Structures are given as structure tokens and as C-alpha cells.
Structure 1
Amino acid sequence: MGDANTTKRSGLAFWAPLIAAGLALFIVVVDSTMMNVAVPTIVKDLKTNVSAVQGVISLYSLIMASLMLVGGKLGGIHGVKRIFIVGVLIYGAGTLVAAISWNIAVLALGWSLLEGVGAAMVLPLAYALLVTNYEPREQAIGFGVLGGVSASAAAVGPILGGVLTSFFTWRLGFAGEVLIALAILPFSRYILERKTAEAGAAIDWGGAVFSFFGLFSLVLVLIMAGRYGWWNAKRPFVIGGTEIDLLGLSPTPLLIGLGLILLAAFVHWQMRRERRGQTPLVRLRVLANGTFLTGVTANIFQSMVITGLLFVLPLYLQAAVGYSAFQSGLAILPFSIATFVVSLGSAGLGQRIAPKFLIQTGVALLVVGAFLLYRVITLQITIPQMIIPLGVFGVGMGLLIAHLVNLILSSVAPDDSPEASGLNNALDQLGNSLGTAVVGSLLMAFFFGNVVTAALSDLGIESTPQERARIVVILEDARETFTEAERAQILELLPDAARQWLSRTADQAIVTAMQDVLVVIVGLLLVMFLLSTFLPRDKKRDVPPDERTP
């Protein structure tokens, strides 16, 4: 339930907390998608290399995901409003530093460190403040708005980044975020502060350390898995110029094991603190809440799907079809619009129709949208051809995000909402990393695999899967090593017949690879649908033992 004072407000005072949360969520989500387009320009301006800039982006994701639990808990201890504002100020300072950065180190300070810390506070508390400022019906509308804002920001980011990079400068992207961060402050004064039972308690720094390094390890491994492989090593593991011998294994399973051990230690540490009557980072009743855990797991798959699709589709349109960043952004616009409109328009349906049914309907529409997109994937695909598939996909996503997060946070007690939101957002970031790592790497793996298979077949050469995998790695490394001009020079050395064959093979390979990725996305959605069957029909809030009536 919201605060009793929520019923006394109207107009701007009533909607200002939602506006503040929406603006904060927008700048955090749009940041990465907008700046991904600007990577080549940033490399040129700061006189650095692509790997360094990608490292800055990865470090931002690592810091944000790893500190999300701490950010949510700080809101529960010191007040959601206070920590939300502090997070906005830190994030704004980071974007300012990034906007004026003169080398890669300063960019990392602003973008990776300051923005990462600020986002770790802002993201969980943007959702938590809806619980503390609105009654259940308004909460549903608020979660629908935030879901639409998040999806829209992810889709609009590449368009905005393309325009700024092409006609102005990438620095204006960060500068614009500074202005939005400042615009949040007047609205934040209307946020109601709700004191929880843990107000003034000491932060669980031991749990913070376990959770930070546990989540850091898992997100890091997802970033590295595409390059080094999930089990057997695809290529040597090198740190600081020194090759580390892992007995033929990729570092992926080792880091996954380390992350799981640290998270298991985190759970035992939480149990220990509760037995001693101390404040844990996450209450065990949150971890034992079946509805919350099922919803969070389903949300991980939702994040994988949306992040994966928004990563591979623009990549396909630009690299294979020849779209510009601006054109690929326009192509995704039907998805963005449909998601925003449906997430907002369907928010009130949860009062009349079981949220579980709406969530399952959303997943089913996502499957239909993926199937329709599969059918129109060609090298001649046009923006009009994508309107219906991406529109259907957007309608499904709108239904899903409007009700899934609401169901998740509505299942916990109000005092638990900041830390529950922190945990949900931390695992949401894990899903985002999985979407990029798994779906993104599969597109290139399928593409090169198809090229190698076709080449060996046409030449009549028999090969083992291991031999084909090694050739794929060589091609992937060549793609990273050679510049566009160098690749063009190599192609010029080939006879005309060889160039024509390579062009036909590559064209077919990338179309088939994109279709195969959509099949994988459908598989993820089917798993999500299966998980949704374990959700309750209606929202049931967990009540702390000390508040239960006999």
C-alpha cells in the first residue's frame, strides 16, 4: 500500500514522483544504447581503440549490476527519496565528466564509475518509490509507464545516437543527460519519504562485499563468454600479455563457479545476520517468497529476449542489409511505440483481469511477433515489412512489462520493496548481459559457421566439428583484427568468381543466422511461458510475521 498521504495529493504533486522516476529511468536506459552507436567516433576523438571503449562500457555494466543490491538497501535504511536524489546527483556528475572527457581514463571515471554507482541507486529506487507513493491501482499505471519508458529509451537510443554522432558530437548525448538529471530535482521534492522498520540501521557491508563480487563475477563471465567460449577454450586466455594456462578450459566455467560460491556465501551470511538479530542486505523472507522468485526468474528471460533482439536486429540491418544507424532506429520504432502505448493503456487491466493471464498473453504475442519477423527476414527487407511483426512484438512486450514487475514487487511487504527492487534489477542486469552475450554471440557464430560449412561442402572437404570451430575462431579474430579498408583490399585480390561465390555464401549465411537467432529467442520465450504457469492468478503481498494477525 502507498502512504496514507497519497490520497491528499492531486495534479503535479501527485504525478511528480512518477515523472521523476520515468526521467531517471530514461537517462539510465538510453545511455548505453545511444553511445554504442558512437563508439567509432569516441575512439577517434579520444585517440584510443575500440577495445578500450568497449571496456569502459562493460565496466559500467559491471559496476551498476554489482552494486544494485546495495543501492536498494541504502534506500530502505536512509530513505528511498534521499538515496534516489543522491543517485541522480552522482549519475549527473558522471555524465558531466564523460561529456568533457579528454582521454579514455576520464571517460571511464565519468561513465563507468560515477554513472555506474549512480545508476545502481536510481534503478531499484525508481521502482520502489512507486510502492511508497501510490496506491495499488496507481502503482499498476506507474509500472506500465516505467516499462514503456524503458523499452522506448532502448529503441530510441540508436536513433538519437546516430543523429548526434552524424550531425553534431557524441558529447551532446552525455550533456543532454546532465540536463535531464537536473530537471528531475524539482519533481523529486514531491516524493513522499517512507520510513521503513530498518531506518537508521547499519548497512551490511559483509553482505555487500559477497554480493558485489558474486554478481561482478557472473556479469563478467557473460561479457567474456562470447570470446573465450562457454566450456572449452576457443582462444588463449591472456591477461596483461601473459597467457594463463587453464588446461584447455575457458575461464567461463571457473568464473561461474566463483560467482556461485560467493553468492552461496552471501546467502549464508544473510542467515547468520538474521540469527544474530542484525540487519541483512536482503531479508530471507524475500528470498523465500515463491511468487517473487518465480517472477524475477521470468524477468531474467524477458530481459534476455528484449536485449538480445534490440542488439542483433540493428546489427543485422546495418551490417547485412545496409541500413544506417538512423534507419535501423526507425525500423524498431513500431516496437517502441506499441510497447509504450500498450504498457500504459493496459496497466488498469490488472484490476479486472488476472495479471498472470495478461503476462502469458504477452509472452504468446512475443512468440507470434518473432515468427512473423522470421518470415520477412531477407536482405531486401524494408521498414514497412517490419511494422506488423515488430508491432505485435511490442504489444506483447507492453503487456508483459506492465504487469510482471508490478506482480513481482506487489508480492513483497512495503518495507521490503527497496531491497526486493534492488535484487530484481540486479538480476535484470544479469539478463541483459545474458541477452547480449548469448544472443549476440550466436548471431556471429551462426554466420561464420554457415560460411565455413558452405565453403567446405562446395570444396568437397570433410571436417570434424572441432576443425570447423577452429576455422570459425580464425574468421572471428580476422574480423576484429583487420580494418574495413584492409578487408576490402583482401577481397580485391580474389578472382571475380571467388568474390561472387563469397558474396552469395555470406548473404545466405547471415540470413540463415538471423533466422536461427529468432528460433533461439522463441525457445527462451517458451521457457518463460513455462515459468509463468507457476505465478499466482492474483497479486498476493507477503506480510511480515510481526504484522500477521492470529
Structure 2
Amino acid sequence: MNRWKPLIALGAAQFLVVLDTSVMNVSISQLVADFDTTVTAIQGVITVYTLVMAAFLITGGKVGDLLGRRRAFGVGLVVYGVGSALTAIAPTLGVLVLGWSIIEGLGGALVLPALAALVGGNYTGRDRAVAYGVIGGLAGAGIAVGPLLGGWVTTYLTWRLVFAGEVVVVVAILAVLGWIKEVPATAPHRGFDVVGAALSVVGLALVVLGVLQSSTWGWLQPRNPPITVLGFSPTPFVIAAGLVVLALFRRWQRHRETRGRDPLIRWELFDIPPLRSALYTLTSQNLILLGLFFTIPLYLQVVQGLNAFETGLRLLPVSVTMLLTSMSAPALGRIASPRQVVRVGLLVLFVATLWLTAAVRPELDDLSFGLAMAVLGIGMGLLAGQLGNVAQSSVGEADRSEVGGLQYTAQNFGSSLGTALIGSILITALTKAAQAGLAADPRISDAVRAQVGTALDAGINFLSTEQVRAALTAAQVSPAEVDALVGTYAVAQLQGLKVALLAAAAIALLSFLATRGLPSARPPAPEPVGTAPSPPVTTPARVQDQSL
């Protein structure tokens, strides 16, 4: 039991950091009421949190190299706890942004890379595979349990208690920090790369911002943006600017290496096929997962009219099966290679997403929907139980914190991209379906058709049919035409949801291309507990740990 004590502390931190976003997503309505603001403003708060996390994770990994991973982990937890406390008592929206989006985001950017390196440094062989399986499962559990916990607390108590509880958990983890074996600082002390850190933050922030805002601005054709660029939406220009900054960041890293200075990222890491494939697949996994966790709650809450707690209950099967499947990683490793397991996981994801597409109906079939969600959790668990271990075991001890930063950057970028891309596809499909239904329905007069068509061209939100009916009635549309338009919109809702889910299924299939570099052989027999790890094998690209 003693050997699993570090995993208890590290797993609690992983669950804590992932829990936040899913709790906030189901608390939006209450936050709007409490701060007397708009849904758009609360979505902005969530966006800033994602931006801070994605932009500072690489820098957070390098800080862990310089300070030592356990020390960086502890400092990050303190920062995170301060942000949680401030969020719990936030009197205004600005304080909420400061506490949750910025301070908690910065704390998480320190915690996550150090956490990944500490798991690799505290375990070897099969124990390491078990540890990464548990960490991956707890990440999925945080995503899935967040709506259930947040929905219940928000519905029956107050969302502030979630963040107050986080402070208690942070204090508890800090109290047992000694359970975790220190992984010493390994980076050469030749100056922290301030310019590289700034370039990486700005570049990643611009890319993530552009992707996140695509559903609001539009991808090419502007959709009521504050500005246009050469008649187009700002989205491609913001993303392109981010890519240019990231290209400058890469040139700067090469420049520092030629000068004998310590770079923020060693680009030779990307020459390691298992690591490269693990990062690509982690991005795809989180793109699919967060895309689905954006789409499915819309179906349950907006179309079916369920409250936050009822929605969380329907998401629970994902958490249970994902956690159990992730923890089975060592057993699977005895009969299949990581590449085979990941490919099976992607295939299961594809099947589960198709099943969910069929389950999106006017009337909710709880049995079919619940089984589809359980299968989805199995697919996610197969990926989560492998990819973290592959990423960390593909490098030597000195690079684990840096790889942890890359690993969680890939995950957060995938999460941001999933919400934005799948959300944009959903809104576009909804608009096109509504326009087609509007043009084909003879019950709608030309005047009303023109009025509603103009509103559709300007961009619409995913609203409930009751909200649509109320808006049309307030606009003094005749009752017969209101019924026709509401019926058209209800059909368009389901079509938009199905197209978004099919897009996620297509991404699962395309992700097979990212798996070619994953290890194709089963790992060696586990090392006896308490012995030193096997000597590393030197490759032309990097020193690689063969303890997969």
C-alpha cells in the first residue's frame, strides 16, 4: 500500500484541476444570475481559463526543471488554492476572472507538468503503467463527475462550495506532499528563456483564441464580429498570427541552442516517434472528448429540458467505464502493444459516437443513451490508459517535466479546439438546416421568411424551442407561423447535433493516422518492485526509457 501513497496525492491533484471546467460549464445559468451578467461574459471567463492553461504549460514544465518537480508541484498547488479561495468569495465578475481564470490557470500550469514527471519518477515498469492509467482515468472522471457534482451543488446549495472544497483538498495534498519522492531539478542553469516563454505564450494564446472564437466570429464569412479583416472574419488572421509567432518561437529556440543557452523546448524531442504520436493522439482524444461534452449537454439540457443534476447523471457512465478501463492498462499490455490498444480505443470511440448520433431523437431513450455513453467511456479509457505512459516513457528522466508540459499543452489545445470546432460545426449545421426548412415550409409567409432569414444570416445561438417560441411571439408573428417555425427549428436542432457528432466520429477515424509512431511491440516483463529501472537505451534522437 505504501508504494501507492504518492499516487493518491498526485491523483487528487489531477482530479482537482480537471474538475473545474466541467463544474463551471453546468453552472453558467446560476453564474449569470449571481453576477447579473450575460452568458457570453461567463463563456469569456471560461475561455480565459483555457487560454492561460494552454499558454503557460510549457513554461510551467521548464519551471519544474529549474526548481525541482515536487517543489514546483507544491508551489502550483498553493497558487491554485489561492485562486480557488478567491473564486469562492468573488463579489464581482472581475474578481472571478482574476481568481479562477488567471490565478487558478497559472497554478494548474505549474501543477500538471510536474505531476506528469512525478508519476514517472515515483514508479517504474508495470507500476508506472498502472499509475498513468489511474491518472488518465481520474482526468476523465473529473470531466464526467464535474457536471454531476457541480449540477447537484449548484441546484441545491451554491457553486461557491465547490471552490471552497477545493481549498480543503489542496491543503490536504500539501499535508501529505512528503509521500511523493522528489524528482530533482535537471535543467542546466544557463538562464531562463524569458523571450521563448513570451513567444510561446503569445503564439499559443492567439491560436487558441482564434479557434475558440470561431463559433462567434465565423471561420471565413464574418458572423457579427466587432471587426472584419479585408471583408473576412478575424478568425483565420488571428490563428495565422499565432502560427507566425510560434514559428518565431521555434527559430528563437534554435538560436539559443546554437549559442549554448538552455532553450524552453528541445526540438529534438519531436524527433522521437512514440512521443510525437502520443502528443498527436492526445490532442485528438481531447478534441473528441471535449467536443462531445459540449454537444451532449446541449442535447440533454436544451432539447430534453433536463436540469444540471439530471444531465450529470446521464454523463456518469462515461466516468465509471473510463476509470475502470484506464486501470486495466497493465493487463492489456500483456496481450497487446500500445499501438494496438490505442487503435482499438479509437475504433470504439467511432462506434460509440455513431451510436450517440442514432440516440439523438426527439424523445430521450435512457437505456440506449446510457449504453452509448458507457461504450464511449471504454474507448476514452483505452486511450487514457496508454498515452500518458507512452509519452513519459519515451524519454529519459531529465526530460520528463518538459514532456509533461508538452503533454498537457496538447491536451488543453485539443480541448479548446474540440469545443470550438465541434461547436462551430453544430451552429453552422443548425443554421443551414433551419434555412432549408424555412425555405421549404409553405405555411410561412414571405415577409416572415425574409425577417427570420435575415436573423439566421446574422448568426443564431442554440436555444430551446420555448425560447424560440417566446421570441417569435414577442415579435408578433401569427400563432400558426410560430408553430411552423418552432417545428422547423426543432428538426434543425436534431440535425445540427447529429452533424456535430458525425464530425467527432470522423475525427476518431482520422486519428488513426497519428498512431503510426506508437510502440508496436508489447512491453518487456515488469521489473521487480524495489529494484532500479533497466538501463536506458540510447537512440540517435534522445535517451529513451524502455519501461513501457
Does TM-score exceed 0.5, indicating one fold? yes
Q: Which residue of 1 aligns with 2:233?
A: 250
Once the two structures are superposed, residues 291-310 of structure 1 have per-residue CA deviations (whole angstroms, 9 ceiling, x without a partner) of 21222112111111000001
Once the two structures are superposed, residues 244-272 of structure 1 have per-residue CA deviations (whole angstroms, 9 ceiling, x without a partner) of 44111111111111111111111111111
Q: Which residue of 2 aligns with 1:304?
A: 287
Task: From 111, 123, 126, give the equivalent of 1:134.
Answer: 123
* Structure 1 residue 468 displacement after superposition: 10
Q: Quote the Cα distance in structure 1 between the aligned partners of 2:214 and 2:452.
A: 19
Once the two structures are superposed, residues 77-134 of structure 1 have per-residue CA deviations (whole angstroms, 9 ceiling, x without a partner) of 2111000010011001000001011111211111111101001011222211111111
Task: From 222, 227, 235, give the equivalent of 1:233.
Answer: 222
CA separation of 1:489/1:57 partners in 2, compared to 1, >3 Å: closer, same or farther? closer
Asked whether 1:369 is paired with 2:352, we answer yes
Task: From 254, 261, 270, give the equivalent of 1:287.
Answer: 270
Contact between 2:342 and 2:383, CA under 8 Å: does it hold in 1?
Answer: yes
Q: Which residue of 2 aligns with 1:220?
A: 209
The AA in structure 2 aligned to 1:225 is S
Partner-residue secondary structure (3-state), 1:17: helix
Task: From 180, 184, 187, give the equivalent of 1:198.
Answer: 187
Partner-residue secondary structure (3-state), 2:192: coil
Asked whether 1:384 is paired with 2:367, we answer yes
Task: From 425, 450, 456, give the equivalent of 1:472.
Answer: 456
The AA in structure 1 aligned to 2:195 is G
Partner-residue secondary structure (3-state), 1:476: coil
CA separation of 1:435/1:489 partners in 2, compared to 1, >3 Å: closer, same or farther? closer
Asked whether 1:337 is paired with 2:320, we answer yes
Q: Quote the Cα distance in structure 1 between the aligned partners of 2:56 and 2:360.
A: 39
* Structure 1 residue 458 displacement after superposition: 2.2
Task: From 297, 304, 320, give the equivalent of 2:303.
Answer: 320
Contact between 2:356 and 2:369, CA under 8 Å: does it hold in 1?
Answer: yes
Task: From 193, 199, 213, give the equivalent of 1:210.
Answer: 199
Partner-residue secondary structure (3-state), 2:155: helix
Q: Quote the Cα distance in structure 2 between the aligned partners of 1:440 and 1:187.
A: 41
Task: From 20, 31, 42, give the equivalent of 2:31.
Answer: 42
The AA in structure 1 aligned to 2:460 is E
Asked whether 1:451 is paired with 2:434, we answer yes
Once the two structures are overlaid, the 10-residue window that deviates more, 190-199 or 294-303, is 190-199
Once the two structures are superposed, residues 442-488 of structure 1 have per-residue CA deviations (whole angstroms, 9 ceiling, x without a partner) of 222212221111111224999xxxx99965343517x79x9977961
Once the two structures are superposed, residues 182-237 of structure 1 have per-residue CA deviations (whole angstroms, 9 ceiling, x without a partner) of 111123212111224326553211110110101011111111111111123222x3
Q: Which residue of 1 aligns with 2:139?
A: 150
Aligned residues: 525
CA separation of 1:251/1:547 partners in 2, compared to 1, >3 Å: closer, same or farther? closer
Contact between 1:88 and 1:122, CA under 8 Å: does it hold in 2?
Answer: yes
Q: Quote the Cα distance in structure 1 between the aligned partners of 2:147 and 2:360.
A: 21
Contact between 2:60 and 2:109, CA under 8 Å: does it hold in 1?
Answer: yes
Contact between 1:362 and 1:397, CA under 8 Å: does it hold in 2?
Answer: yes
Partner-residue secondary structure (3-state), 2:223: coil
CA separation of 1:199/1:191 partners in 2, compared to 1, >3 Å: closer, same or farther? farther
| Structure 2 residues not aligned, in runs of 5+ | 524-535
Q: Quote the Cα distance in structure 2 between the aligned partners of 1:229 and 1:56.
A: 20
Partner-residue secondary structure (3-state), 1:189: helix
Q: Which residue of 1 aligns with 2:44?
A: 55
Q: Which residue of 2 aligns with 1:7?
A: none
Q: Which residue of 2 aligns with 1:117?
A: 106
CA separation of 1:130/1:229 partners in 2, compared to 1, >3 Å: closer, same or farther? same
What's the TM-score once normalised by structure 1's chain length?
0.90
Q: Quote the Cα distance in structure 2 between the aligned partners of 1:382 and 1:483.
A: 20
Task: From 67, 88, 98, give the equivalent of 1:78.
Answer: 67
Asked whether 1:160 is paired with 2:143, we answer no
Q: Quote the Cα distance in structure 1 between the aligned partners of 2:202 and 2:343.
A: 35
In the TM superposition, 1:428-439 aligns within 5 A as: 428-439=411-422
Contact between 1:16 and 1:188, CA under 8 Å: does it hold in 2?
Answer: no
The AA in structure 2 aligned to 1:334 is P
Q: Quote the Cα distance in structure 2 between the aligned partners of 1:486 and 1:523.
A: 31
The AA in structure 2 aligned to 1:488 is A
Q: Quote the Cα distance in structure 2 between the aligned partners of 1:514 and 1:47.
A: 30
The AA in structure 1 aligned to 2:456 is V
The AA in structure 2 aligned to 1:217 is L
CA separation of 1:547/1:141 partners in 2, compared to 1, >3 Å: closer, same or farther? closer
Q: Which residue of 1 aligns with 2:532?
A: none
Q: Quote the Cα distance in structure 1 between the aligned partners of 2:157 and 2:290.
A: 27
Contact between 1:445 and 1:472, CA under 8 Å: does it hold in 2?
Answer: no
Q: Quote the Cα distance in structure 2 between the aligned partners of 1:233 and 1:502.
A: 25
Q: Quote the Cα distance in structure 1 between the aligned partners of 2:189 and 2:120.
A: 20
Q: Which residue of 2 aligns with 1:491?
A: 473
Asked whether 1:188 is paired with 2:172, we answer no
Contact between 2:119 and 2:131, CA under 8 Å: does it hold in 1?
Answer: yes
* Structure 1 residue 524 displacement after superposition: 0.1
* Structure 1 residue 536 displacement after superposition: 3.0
Task: From 149, 166, 174, give the equivalent of 2:163.
Answer: 174
Q: Quote the Cα distance in structure 2 between the aligned partners of 1:258 and 1:421.
A: 26
Contact between 1:303 and 1:435, CA under 8 Å: does it hold in 2?
Answer: yes
Q: Quote the Cα distance in structure 1 between the aligned partners of 2:513 and 2:468.
A: 48
* Structure 1 residue 404 displacement after superposition: 1.6
The AA in structure 2 aligned to 1:499 is V
Once the two structures are superposed, residues 522-546 of structure 1 have per-residue CA deviations (whole angstroms, 9 ceiling, x without a partner) of 1100111122134231489774779
Q: Which residue of 2 aligns with 1:8?
A: none
Q: Which residue of 2 aligns with 1:103?
A: 92
In the TM superposition, 1:352-363 aligns within 5 A as: 352-363=335-346
CA separation of 1:265/1:470 partners in 2, compared to 1, >3 Å: closer, same or farther? farther
* Structure 1 residue 503 displacement after superposition: 3.0
Contact between 2:188 and 2:262, CA under 8 Å: does it hold in 1?
Answer: no
Q: Quote the Cα distance in structure 1 between the aligned partners of 2:456 and 2:132.
A: 44
What's the TM-score once normalised by structure 2's chain length?
0.90
Task: From 398, 423, 432, give the equivalent of 1:415.
Answer: 398
Q: Which residue of 2 aligns with 1:507?
A: 490
The AA in structure 1 aligned to 2:256 is R
Q: Quote the Cα distance in structure 2 between the aligned partners of 1:123 and 1:81.
A: 11
Q: Kindly, what percent of the aligned residue pairs are identical? A: 35
Once the two structures are superposed, residues 405-452 of structure 1 have per-residue CA deviations (whole angstroms, 9 ceiling, x without a partner) of 211221122211111110121121111011100112222221222111
Once the two structures are overlaid, the 10-residue window that deviates more, 438-447 or 110-119, is 438-447
CA separation of 1:183/1:472 partners in 2, compared to 1, >3 Å: closer, same or farther? same
Partner-residue secondary structure (3-state), 1:67: helix
CA separation of 1:544/1:416 partners in 2, compared to 1, >3 Å: closer, same or farther? farther
Asked whether 1:65 is paired with 2:54, we answer yes
| Structure 1 residues not aligned, in runs of 5+ | 1-10, 239-243
